[in-house]
C-alpha cells in the first residue's frame, strides 16, 4: 500500500508538471493578453503595468519564477481582480462549489444507483423503460435548459425556491438538481448494465439455488460486484462537479469556482487560468486515487501493489 | 451506507430545505427602513479609485466616495466635495475650494492633500494604474507616468487644507466634468499612505461619500450603510443599499421579476419589448455609438465613395426595429445624443443634425458607380469581421443582406473571440470590422479625438491633417461657443470622409420597481443612490 501511495504521489507531480507547462505555453500562445482592452492603453501605461506584473521578462524567466512560486503554494495575484490573489479566489470560490457539488453528487448517487438496480431487476418491463427513458432525457437535456425550466416552474410559478443567489440551503436545491441530472442519468445506466451482467453470472445462480432471498442476494452478492464501473465514473465526475460549473453558477449567480474556469480565459487572466487548472488537475488525480482504493474494498481480487497476478 | 440510510438522509435534507424556504419568505416589513436593492452588472476589479477602470467599479465607488464635483440628472458637473471653483483666464489653472464640513467616514476632514496624494499616486509608475490616461490632462501627468519627471512636477497642489490648485497641460473646458469621474476621487492619505491594501476591504476602507461599504462577498453581493459623517447626510434617505452582483443578464431579469432586487439595468434584448409593455422597464439614451470601421489603407476602402456607398445603403430604422429591438437611435452622425451643446439646454447632436440620410439607396448606387464599381461589379471580395456574439452576428447578417439587395455587393462574414478581435482591429488586419465607443464623460471630444492620426483606437487607420488640426484647435479653444463650432466642423469632415459607418446610438434599458424613487443616473449609466429610497 505504501509503495503504491508513493508511486501515485510521484505520478501526481509528473502529471501536474506536464499540465502546468502545457497550460503555460498554450495560454501565452493565444492572441491578446490580460491588458488588451477595448480602450487601448497608452504605451507608457502598458509599460508600467507589464513591469509591475513582470510580463516584460523573457518567457522562460516568467516560467521559472512561476514554478518557484508554486513550490511555495503561491499562485500569484490575479491580473483582472487587482486586489485579490489566486489563492484567495480559490479559497473564496471552492467552498461554495464544494457545498453545491457535494449535494449534487449525493443526489446523483442516491437516485442513480437505486434507479439502475430497479431497472435491472425489472429488465424489459415498465419500470426499466421508465428509468431508461428518463435517463435518456437526463443525458440529452443541457443543464441550462433544465435550470431555466426549474426556475420557471419552481421559482416563478409555485414560488417554492428563490430564482438565484446564494443565501442558504433553499438556494442550493435548484442548482444542485440542474448539476445532478446528467451524472444521475449516467450512473443509472451504468448501474443497470453492470447489474444485468452480474446477475447473469454463475455465483448468483448458485446463491439463488442455495435459497438466498432476493434482497440479500442483491445487497450482499450482486451490488458490490456491479459497483465497479459506477465508481470508475463517479471519481472524475465528482472532481468536476465539486469544482463547479460555469453554466449553472452563472444562471443561479453562485459565487463558486466554476465560472472562473471560463472567464479567466476570456480575460487572459494568466495566473487565475494556471491556478485553477492546477487545482482541478490535482483534484482529479486525487479522486482517481480514491477510486483505486475503492476498487480494493469492492473486489478483493484487485490488489494495488501487485500487477498482473490474479 | 445502506439504502435506508441514504433515503432517510435525503428526506431529512428535503425537509430542512422546505423549512428554510418557509423562513426566508417572512421578512420584516418596516417600510421606512427598506434597503434599496440593486442588481449590479459585475464584480468590481478593485475598490481603489486609483486603480478602477470600468462600470462595475464605478458603481460601487460612486456611492462610497465623492469627487470635487458630481453629475446632476442633466449631465452637468455640480459642486460636491468642492463647494466652488475658479478658472484662470487662459483656462489652464483651476482652483477648487473644498468644503469645510467635508468629512471622511471616520470623521476626519477631507483635505486638498488627500486629493493631491490620490492623483499623484494614481499617476505614479509604481501603482501602474490602467486608467492613468484619465489624468494625463494634468500638467506633466504623462511625463511623470512615463518616468520623465518627479511627482513634484505634476500640476496638482494643495495650497492649504481647503484649496486645491490644478494646472493643466492644455485648457480643458470639461475638466469639472472629469473631476466627477472615479479616477479623480480622493483617498484617505493618512491610512493609505503606508498601506495601500487598506483600499481593498470593507473593514479598512475609509471613504467620503454618502454611503460606506460594510460587507462585500466576492461575485455575490455587497452592503452599504449611510455614512453619518457625510457632509450632506441630511439628503441621504436610504439607510442601507444592497447590491447583488449579477453578471448574467437573464439572471438579473429573473431576480427582478422574482422580487429579489428593486432596480437593475441591461436585460437581454429579447426581453426588452415585453418588459416595456409590462411597464417594468424604461429606455434612456446611453453615451455610446455602435459602428463599423473601414480599413482605409487598402482598396477598395481607400476610396471614400465606396465607404459612403456602403454607409448609405443600409436601413438603420429597420435594424433597430427588427434586429436590436431596444429602441436604439438610428445614427445619422458619429457623436451620440446626450452631450450638452454651447447654448444652455441644447444637445450637441440636435444642433449638428444628421450628416446623411438613412437608407439612401439611390445616392449609394450613384457613388458606387462613380467609384468604378457599377452595381458592385469589379469589387474585390469583401469580408466583414465581428467579435463572436449573437447580437453582433444578427446585425452583420442584416447588413450583408441589405448590401446584396440594394447594391449587389457580396460580403462574407467572419467572427473572432473578443481579445483576438481586438488584436485584429489594432493591427488593421481586416476590411470592415465591428466597432463601438462608449464615453467616460459627456463631451464630444471623447468621440472625435478617436480619429486623430495614430490614436490607438482609430481602427480605420484614417489620417487627415485637417481633422487633426481641427481637434487640436478645439482642445485649446476656451470660449464654449467657438469650441463647439470647431467640433461640429470636425464631425462634418469625419462624416464627409466616412472612415466609419455609424449604425446606431446606444440606449440603456433600466428595470425599475415603481416604488423606487430619488436616484439619479448619468448618460454614461452611473447611478447615484445618494437620494434614492424605496417607498
How do strand B263-265 and strand B36-40 relate by DSSP bridges?
parallel
Mutate to test the interface with B, among A93, A253, A268, A298 (most CBs of B within 10 A): A253
**Alpha helices for A30-58 (secondary structure H):** 43-52
Phi-psi label, residue B428: left if phi above 0, alpha if psi -120 to 50, beta otherwise: left
The residues, any chain, with a CB within 8 Å of residue B43's CB and separated by 6 or more, are A81, B56, B218, B219, B245, B247
Show the CA angle centred on residue B265, arms to residues B262 and B270, nearest 5°: 115
Note whether A255 contacts B218, CB cutoff 8 Å.
yes
Tell me which fold the domain B285-508 belongs to.
Answer: Dipeptide-binding Protein; domain 3 (3.10.105)
**DSSP-based three-state secondary structure for B75:** coil
Q: What are phi and psi of B157, to 5 degrees?
A: -150, 130
Structure-block grid coordinates of residue A195: 447489474
The C-alpha of B535 sits at a distance from chain A's nearest C-alpha, in angstroms, of 23
The residues, any chain, with a CB within 8 Å of residue B209's CB and separated by 6 or more, are B61, B62, B63, B64, B65, B66, B227, B230
Structure-block grid coordinates of residue B34: 427598506
Per-residue pLDDT at B440:
84
Give the model's confidence band at A307: pLDDT under 50 very low, under 70 low, under 90 confident, else very high: low
Give the model's confidence band at A306: pLDDT under 50 very low, under 70 low, under 90 confident, else very high: low
Note whether A30 contacts B420, CB cutoff 8 Å.
yes
Phi-psi label, residue B208: left if phi above 0, alpha if psi -120 to 50, beta otherwise: alpha
Give the model's confidence band at A221: pLDDT under 50 very low, under 70 low, under 90 confident, else very high: confident
Note whether A162 contacts B260, CB cutoff 8 Å.
yes
Q: Is 0.95 surpassed by the pTM of this model? A: no
The C-alpha of A11 sits at a distance from chain B's nearest C-alpha, in angstroms, of 31
Q: How many helices (H) and strands (E) does chain B have?
A: 17, 21
The C-alpha of A308 sits at a distance from chain B's nearest C-alpha, in angstroms, of 31
Note whether B53 contacts A151, CB cutoff 8 Å.
no
The rounded radius of gyration (Å) of the Cα atoms in chain A is: 24
pLDDT (mean) for A147-161 = 94
Mutate to test the interface with B, among A34, A36, A39 (most CBs of B within 10 A): A39
Nearest residue in B to A155, CA atom: B258
CA separation for the pair B444, B446 (Å, rounded):
6
Note whether B17 contacts A170, CB cutoff 8 Å.
yes
Note whether A83 contacts B200, CB cutoff 8 Å.
yes
Domains of chain A, each with CATH number or no CATH: 14-71 (no CATH), 94-266 (1.10.3720.10)
**DSSP-based three-state secondary structure for B57:** helix
The rounded radius of gyration (Å) of the Cα atoms in chain B is: 26
CA B483 to chain centre: 24
**DSSP-based three-state secondary structure for B72:** coil
Nearest residue in A to B417, CA atom: A266
Q: How many CB atoms lie within 10 A of CB B23?
A: 11
Note whether B130 contacts A41, CB cutoff 8 Å.
yes
The C-alpha of A155 sits at a distance from chain B's nearest C-alpha, in angstroms, of 8
Tell me which fold the domain B62-198 belongs to.
Answer: Dipeptide-binding Protein; domain 1 (3.90.76)
CA A31 to chain centre: 29
Q: Please tell me what DSSP assigns to residue A99.
A: H
Per-residue pLDDT at B432:
98
**DSSP-based three-state secondary structure for A167:** coil
CA separation for the pair B83, B69 (Å, rounded):
9
Nearest residue in B to A246, CA atom: B248
Nearest residue in B to A48, CA atom: B128
Chain B positions in Cβ-Cβ contact with residue A105 (cut-off 8 Å): none
Q: Which of A89, A169, A251 sits opposite B248 (nearest CB)?
A: A251
Location of each CATH 3.90.76.10 domain in chain B: 62-198
Q: Which of A80, A164, A259 sits opposite B254 (nearest CB)?
A: A164
Q: What percent of chain B has pLDDT over 90?
A: 87
Chain A positions in Cβ-Cβ contact with residue B133 (cut-off 8 Å): 41-42, 45
Q: Which helix (H) or strand (E) holds B273?
A: helix B269-277
- Express each pLDDT in B153-202 by its tens digit: 999 999 999 999 999 999 998 999 999 999 999 999 999 998 888 999 99
Chain B positions in Cβ-Cβ contact with residue A47 (cut-off 8 Å): 146
Rounding to the nearest 10 degrees, give the CA dihedral for residues B395, B399, B402, B407.
170
Chain A positions in Cβ-Cβ contact with residue B45 (cut-off 8 Å): 80-82
Location of each CATH 3.10.105.10 domain in chain B: 285-508
Q: What is the full per-residue pLDDT of chain B (535 aa) written as tens digits? A: 444 444 444 444 444 444 444 333 333 444 458 999 999 999 999 999 999 998 999 999 999 999 999 999 888 899 999 999 999 999 999 999 999 999 999 999 999 999 999 999 999 999 999 999 999 999 999 999 999 999 999 999 999 999 999 999 999 989 999 999 999 999 999 999 988 889 999 999 999 999 999 999 999 999 999 999 999 999 999 999 999 999 999 999 999 999 999 999 999 988 999 999 999 999 999 999 999 999 999 989 999 999 999 999 999 999 999 999 999 999 999 999 989 898 888 999 999 999 999 999 999 999 999 999 999 999 999 999 999 999 999 999 999 999 999 999 999 999 999 999 999 999 999 999 999 999 988 899 999 999 999 899 999 999 999 999 999 999 888 888 999 999 999 999 999 999 999 999 999 999 999 999 999 999 989 999 999 999 9
The ipTM (two decimal places) reads 0.90
Is residue A161 over pLDDT 70? yes
**Alpha helices for B286-417 (secondary structure H):** 304-312, 316-318, 348-352, 361-370, 390-407
Amino acid at each position: 500500500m505504501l509503495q503504491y501511495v508513493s508511486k501515485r504521489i510521484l505520478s501526481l507531480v509528473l502529471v501536474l508538471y506536464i499540465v502546468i507547462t502545457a497550460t503555460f505555453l498554450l495560454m501565452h500562445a493565444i492572441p491578446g493578453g490580460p491588458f488588451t482592452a477595448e480602450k487601448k492603453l497608452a504605451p507608457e501605461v502598458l509599460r508600467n503595468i507589464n513591469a509591475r506584473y513582470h510580463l516584460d521578462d523573457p518567457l522562460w524567466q516568467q516560467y521559472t519564477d512561476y514554478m518557484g512560486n508554486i513550490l511555495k503554494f503561491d499562485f500569484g495575484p490575479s491580473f483582472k481582480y487587482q486586489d485579490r490573489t489566486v489563492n484567495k479566489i480559490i479559497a473564496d470560490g471552492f467552498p461554495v462549489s464544494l457545498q453545491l457539488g457535494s449535494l449534487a453528487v449525493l443526489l446523483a448517487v442516491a437516485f442513480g444507483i437505486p434507479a439502475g438496480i430497479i431497472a435491472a431487476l425489472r429488465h424489459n418491463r415498465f419500470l426499466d423503460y421508465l428509468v431508461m427513458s428518463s435517463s435518456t432525457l437526463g443525458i440529452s437535456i443541457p443543464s441550462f435548459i433544465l435550470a431555466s425550466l426549474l426556475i420557471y416552474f419552481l421559482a416563478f410559478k409555485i414560488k417554492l425556491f428563490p430564482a438565484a443567489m446564494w443565501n442558504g440551503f433553499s438556494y442550493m436545491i435548484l442548482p444542485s438538481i440542474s448539476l445532478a441530472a446528467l451524472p444521475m442519468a449516467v450512473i443509472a445506466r451504468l448501474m443497470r448494465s453492470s447489474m444485468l451482467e452480474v446477475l447473469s453470472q454463475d455465483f448468483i445462480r448458485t446463491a439463488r439455488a442455495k435459497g438466498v432471498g432476493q434482497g440479500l442476494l442483491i445487497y450482499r452478492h450482486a451490488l458490490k460486484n456491479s459497483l465497479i464501473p459506477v465508481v470508475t465514473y463517479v471519481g472524475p465526475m465528482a472532481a468536476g462537479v465539486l469544482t463547479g460549473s460555469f453554466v449553472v453558477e452563472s444562471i443561479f449567480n453562485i459565487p463558486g469556482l466554476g465560472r472562473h474556469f471560463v472567464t479567466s480565459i476570456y480575460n487572459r487572466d494568466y495566473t487565475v487560468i494556471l491556478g485553477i487548472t492546477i487545482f482541478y488537475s490535482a483534484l482529479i488525480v486525487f479522486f482517481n486515487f480514491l477510486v483505486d482504493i475503492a476498487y480494493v474494498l469492492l473486489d478483493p481480487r484487485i490488489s494495488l501493489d501487485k500487477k498482473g497476478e490474479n | 451506507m445502506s439504502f435506508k440510510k441514504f433515503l432517510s438522509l435525503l428526506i431529512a435534507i428535503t425537509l430542512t430545505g422546505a423549512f428554510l424556504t418557509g423562513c426566508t419568505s417572512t421578512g420584516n416589513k418596516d417600510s421606512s427602513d427598506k434597503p434599496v436593492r440593486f442588481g449590479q452588472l459585475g464584480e468590481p476589479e478593485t475598490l481603489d479609485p486609483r486603480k478602477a477602470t470600468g462600470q462595475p467599479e464605478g458603481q460601487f465607488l460612486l456611492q462610497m466616495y465623492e469627487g470635487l464635483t458630481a453629475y446632476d440628472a442633466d449631465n452637468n458637473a455640480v459642486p460636491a466635495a468642492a463647494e466652488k471653483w475658479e478658472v484662470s483666464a487662459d483656462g489652464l489653472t483651476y482652483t477648487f475650494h473644498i468644503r469645510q464640513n467635508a468629512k471622511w467616514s471616520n470623521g476626519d476632514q477631507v483635505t486638498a492633500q488627500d486629493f493631491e496624494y490620490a492623483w499623484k499616486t494614481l499617476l505614479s509608475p509604481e501603482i501602474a494604474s490602467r486608467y492613468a490616461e484619465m489624468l494625463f490632462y494634468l500638467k506633466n501627468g504623462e511625463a511623470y507616468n512615463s518616468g520623465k519627471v518627479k511627482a513634484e512636477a505634476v500640476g496638482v497642489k494643495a495650497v492649504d487644507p481647503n484649496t486645491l490648485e490644478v494646472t493643466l497641460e492644455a485648457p480643458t473646458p470639461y475638466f469639472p466634468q472629469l473631476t466627477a469621474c472615479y479616477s479623480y476621487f480622493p483617498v484617505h492619505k493618512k491610512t493609505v499612505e503606508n498601506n495601500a491594501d487598506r483600499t481593498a476591504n470593507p473593514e479598512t476602507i475609509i471613504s467620503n461619500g454618502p454611503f460606506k461599504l460594510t460587507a462585500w462577498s466576492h461575485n455575490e453581493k455587497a452592503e452599504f450603510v449611510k455614512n453619518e459623517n457625510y457632509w450632506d447626510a441630511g439628503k441621504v434617505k436610504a439607510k442601507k443599499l444592497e447590491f447583488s452582483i449579477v453578471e448574467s443578464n437573464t439572471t438579473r431579469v429573473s431576480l427582478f421579476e422574482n422580487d429579489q432586487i428593486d432596480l437593475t439595468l441591461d436585460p437581454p434584448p429579447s426581453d426588452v419589448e415585453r418588459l416595456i409593455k409590462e411597464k417594468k422597464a424604461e429606455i434612456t439614451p446611453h453615451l455610446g455609438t455602435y459602428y463599423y470601421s473601414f480599413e482605409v489603407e487598402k482598396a477598395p476602402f481607400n476610396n471614400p465613395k465606396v465607404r459612403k456607398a456602403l454607409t448609405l445603403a443600409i436601413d438603420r430604422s429597420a435594424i433597430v426595429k427588427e434586429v436590436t429591438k431596444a429602441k436604439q437611435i438610428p445614427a445619422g452622425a458619429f457623436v451620440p445624443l446626450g452631450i450638452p451643446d454651447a447654448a444652455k439646454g441644447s444637445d450637441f447632436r440636435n444642433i449638428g443634425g444628421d450628416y446623411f440620410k438613412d437608407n439612401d439607396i439611390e445616392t449609394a448606387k450613384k457613388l458606387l458607380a462613380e467609384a468604378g464599381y457599377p452595381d458592385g461589379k469589379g469589387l474585390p471580395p469583401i469580408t466583414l469581421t465581428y467579435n463572436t456574439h449573437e447580437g453582433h452576428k444578427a446585425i452583420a447578417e442584416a447588413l450583408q443582406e441589405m448590401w446584396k439587395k440594394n447594391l449587389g455587393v457580396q460580403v462574407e462574414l467572419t467572427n473572432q473571440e473578443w481579445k483576438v478581435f481586438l488584436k485584429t482591429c489594432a493591427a488593421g488586419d481586416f476590411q470592415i470590422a465591428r466597432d463601438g465607443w462608449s464615453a467616460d464623460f459627456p463631451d464630444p471630444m471623447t468621440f472625435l479625438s478617436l480619429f486623430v492620426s495614430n490614436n490607438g483606437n482609430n481602427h480605420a487607420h484614417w489620417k487627415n491633417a485637417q481633422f487633426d488640426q481641427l481637434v487640436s484647435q478645439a482642445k485649446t479653444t476656451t470660449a464654449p461657443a467657438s469650441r463647439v463650432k470647431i467640433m461640429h466642423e470636425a464631425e462634418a469632415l469625419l462624416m464627409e470622409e466616412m472612415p466609419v459607418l455609424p449604425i446606431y446610438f446606444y440606449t440603456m434599458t433600466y428595470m425599475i420597481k415603481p416604488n423606487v424613487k430619488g436616484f439619479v443616473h448619468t448618460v454614461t449609466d452611473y447611478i447615484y443612490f445618494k437620494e434614492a429610497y424605496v417607498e
